[in-house]
Structure 1
Amino acid sequence: MASATNVPYLRATARGGSRLDVSVAPNARSTAIAGVHGDTLRVRLAAQPIEGAANEALLRWLAQSLGIARSQLRLAHGASSRRKSVEIDLEVERVRAWIAQTLADGQ
């Protein structure tokens, strides 16, 4: 698995938050990080890509995993694509630490 110390898929926003680029794989058995896919974080989703269900599942899972409220996440780009950008109202260092720990744990 890749290290999260220098990750092209995570950057700071002008408002002090983070922007995370993900590549999703819907219809998985469970929701989890599946590693790095090019310049995105690969996430398997246990949701179907129907009527925004996969988008909402991604945002709810991220909120729960990061320990923040769902309202602190917004889908900034990619509503109908497998490649998405999520804005997170959380400093980039905390998101980077969560990614590093999750990748280290193999989850």
Structure 2
Amino acid sequence: MLHCQPGAKVTRVVGEHDGRLKISLNAPAVENKANEVLIAWLADVLGTTKKQIELLSGHTGRKKRVLIRGLNQNAIIEKLAPDT
């Protein structure tokens, strides 16, 4: 579960919000641009392809559910750990 904040200067993990991983996105929330940036960024950070990432819910909101194929949960958590 993710909480996404569009319109930021940089796409990155910024912490936690309401029990969800909070990600700032350097794209506006118009015409699906923020969702496209999120999927491309996740693929890059996780070392996978965009085809392995599916947005399950939250297409028009900040709270999103994402399915990531080909990686186990521990690997995903480790790679998405917020910068400290």
Task: Give the TM-score normalised by the residue count of structure 2.
Answer: 0.93
CA radius of gyration, larger in = 1
* Cα RMSD (Å): 1.0
Return the structure number with greater relative CO, CA threshold 8 A, min gap 6.
1
User: Which residue of the partner structure matches residue 12 of structure 2?
Assistant: 32
Of 71, 77, 80, the residue aligned with 1:96 is 77
Measured after TM superposition, the shift of residue 38 of structure 1 is 1.4
Distance in 2, Cα, partners of 1:32 & 1:94? 17
Q: Which runs of 4+ in 1 moved over 4 A?
A: none
Q: Does 1:42 align with 2:37?
A: no
**5+ residue gaps in structure 2?**
none
Give identity over the alignment, percent: 34
Q: Does 1:80 align with 2:60?
A: yes
The number of equivalent residue pairs is: 83
Q: Does 1:53 align with 2:33?
A: yes
Task: Give the TM-score normalised by the residue count of structure 1.
Answer: 0.74
